[in-house]
Amino acid sequence: MSVGIRHDDLRRRNRAMVISAVRRAGQPSRTEIAATTGLSHSTISAISADLIHEGILTESKASEPTALKRGRPQIGLAQNPEAAAVLTVVLSLNFLSVAVIDYAGQVIAEEQQRLDTLVMPRDELIGECVAIVRRRLQDPDLDLGSVARIAMGIQGITDSHSRAMLWSPITPLTDIPFADILEKEFGIPATTENDCNMMAVALQWRDPERYRDDFIAILLSHGIGMGLVLKGALFTGTHSSGGEFGHMIHRPGGALCRCGRRGCVEAYAGNYAIWRSAMGISEDAAPTDVGDADMRALAAKARQEDGPEREAYRRAGEALGFGLGSLFALIDPAPVAMVGVSAAAFDLIEPALREAIAQTAGGQHSKSISFDTEPNELPLIREGCAMRALTFVDQEIFAPGGQARAGKHVA
């Protein structure tokens, strides 16, 4: 249960608040921080003096061309890039990429690699991931000791504590505790994050205006994934990363899904499902992987003339619309970002999608629901992982203490 606030927690929490305020705002002055946090100027002054002294923040005076205001000019504060670094690993279908990012959020090194995830044995898959991380960490240009966190984004279901990949469409393997493996190998705290959740995190940082408290990021790719932010916080399941929008039931007993079950939304709206439908292949046929180029060609064909291709996208839209309708019945409508290769074909999907939503409980506001599209998911996933790792460093390393002590006696 919730735990009391000890006196020493107070400073810790307010430190964390200042660090987070600096990361969120561009280069806020102490006065701005005082305003957003509600703390007094003196407190902010004391805390930021500490943080600067410890090398966590820096004064970035040479920022703007001094806005020609009267009075003492504001001194912007910013994350000190040298305070720490984080490493992101993104594992998706046949593709592995790693980046090292400094504490201010700038990419300082990266490496990418193709690999055949679908057929690799367990040891090899793990080995490649470890190896690529090791190469980046041992880069002579980089100070190894400074990497404070690894965040791995992975296509598939992860557990709710972000420790392991439980199931993934990119490999037949299951239950790989990547976080533990990386921690053991490198002695650096690590997490294993769901790709769609990281997309949502990235959107929240990219456009906090639009994506703030409540929104949905849907990945339209081979499979259908979702990252959900509710009341400003990432939503996860009770045991897993949750939010398996693609496996909500659209038609009981319907088309065969990649997950082996029938009638899932994905079995109508995933790339393979659209392809299967457009090619006149049976709904009972096993899903096949379809390349991005093929999907783009399919969309072009659908735009050109009314035929089975267009109908396939229409059916995808219908499945997504009824799925979203059911979701909206639970959480109320919220802005949606469509991400991934099929987001580029959203013009083909949208009409049927809106028509379906209009027939559901969320439909009363169907016109006000806004959709945004972003065809490229990988940069989003990496950005999300980076922000995840950086905020961890902000909170747990540079404002440490609380968790370990308080609440130890809680039943």
Partner DNA sequence: GGCTTTTTTTCGAGCCTCAAAAAAATAGTG
Partner DNA sequence: CACTATTTTTTTGAGGCTCGAAAAAAAGCC
Q: Does 395 bind DNA (CB under 7 A)?
A: no
Q: Residues 63, 66, 112, 304: which binds DNA (CB under 7 A)?
A: 66
For 377, phi and psi rounded to 5 degrees?
Answer: -85, -30
Question: Which part of the chain contacts DNA (CB under 7 A), choosing from 41-49, 189-197, 241-249, 384-392?
Answer: 41-49
* 270: Cβ contacts below 8 Å, ≥ 6 apart: 221, 222, 223, 224, 246, 257, 258, 287
The answer to whether residues 204 and 189 touch, using CB atoms and an 8 Å cutoff, is no
Q: Which does 140 bind (CB under 5 to 8 A by kind): DNA, its own copies, none?
A: none
Q: How far is the CB of 122 from DNA (least distance, A)?
A: 47
* Min dist. Cβ of residue 394 to DNA (A): 16
The partner in contact with residue 70, picked from its own copies, DNA, none with C-beta cut-offs of 5 to 8 angstroms by kind, is DNA
Closest CA to 164 of 186, 192, 190: 192
CA dihedral 258, 153, 234, 58 (to 10 degrees): -170
DSSP string computed for 346-395: HHHHHHHHHHHHHTSGGGGGGGG--EEEES-HHHHHHHHHHHHHHHHIII
User: Which of DNA, its own copies, none interacts with 71 (beta carbon under 5 to 8 A by kind)?
Assistant: DNA
Angle between helices 292-304 and 271-278 (to 10 degrees): 50
Q: Is 1 exposed, middle or buried (0-12, 13-18, 19+ CB in 10 A)?
A: exposed
**Which of 24, 26, 41, 64 touches DNA by CB under 7 A?**
41
Q: Which of 72, 114, 231, 408 binds DNA (CB under 7 A)?
A: 72
Integer angstrom CA distances of residue 18 from 12, 14, 231: 10, 6, 21
State whether residue 24 is helix, strand or coil: helix
Given a contact cutoff of 8 angstroms between Cβ atoms, the answer to whether 117 and 166 are in contact is: no
The interface partner of residue 31, options being DNA, its own copies, none and the CB cut-off 5 to 8 Å by kind, is DNA
For the segment 20-39, give every residue that binds DNA (CB under 7 A). Answer: 29-31, 38-39
Contact between 65 and its own copies by CB under 8 A: the answer reads no
Q: Which of 3, 11, 81, 375 binds DNA (CB under 7 A)?
A: 11
Stretch that binds its own copies, among 109-117, 136-144, 170-178, 352-360 (CB under 8 A): 352-360
Q: Which one of the spans 35-43, 105-113, 121-129, 278-286 is the region binding its own copies (CB under 8 A)?
A: 35-43
> What is the binding site for its own copies (CB under 8 A)?
1-7, 10, 13-14, 17, 20-21, 24, 35-39, 43, 160, 213-214, 228, 230-231, 237-240, 242-245, 247-253, 259, 261-264, 318, 322, 325-327, 329-334, 356, 359-361, 363, 405-411
